[in-house]
Homo-oligomer: A and B are copies of this chain.
Amino acid sequence: MVDQPDFHAPLYEVKANLFKGLAHPVRIRVLELLAESPQVSVADLIAGTGQEASNLSQHLSVLRRHHLVLAERRGLQVFYRLAYPQVADLLTVARSLLTEVLTTTQKNLELSMALPNGSASAEDRP
């Protein structure tokens, strides 16, 4: 049987599911390594992430299930690559967003140091 995504689930569920597939540091690390090089062997991913083989393999399986990566066996080794360029885009946008968040939070922090009155609270609760 060919593994098909949920064609009938509402799009926002599918989308949430996609993000669930990305929601682990090891998997992010793997995707970043794959975004740098067009192909990476499992051995190199083990080295790059510092994970045990079986642990990494399960994360790779998650990534495969979400259609984020493709695997190809060549001899003894299996090589992984990103399944679509949009996967790398996702990481790029995420980094850009986090940079913004960090710098503006940094700024707010400096501001609140300069004007030490309780201007902002725990999570900018209104």
Contact = CB atoms under 8 A, between A and B. Distances in A.
Copies of this protein in the complex: 2
A24 B16 contact: yes
A93 B22 CA distance: 14
A89 interface: yes
A97 B92 CA distance: 14
Report the contact-size class of chain A (Cβ under 8 Å from the partner): 35 or more
Given A19-B20, A86-B93, 13 more contacts: A3-B120, A5-B105, A13-B28, A15-B25, A15-B28, A15-B98, A16-B23, A22-B23, A64-B125, A67-B101, A78-B126, A83-B101, A89-B96
Interface string A1-33: 111110100111111111110111101110010
A98 B11 contact: yes
The A interface, classified by DSSP as helix, strand, loop or mixed, is helix
A91 B15 contact: yes
A32 B14 CA distance: 13
Given A3-B123, A78-B126, A94 B25 contact: no
A101 B84 contact: yes
Nearest to A27: B16
Contacts of A90: 90, 93-94, 97
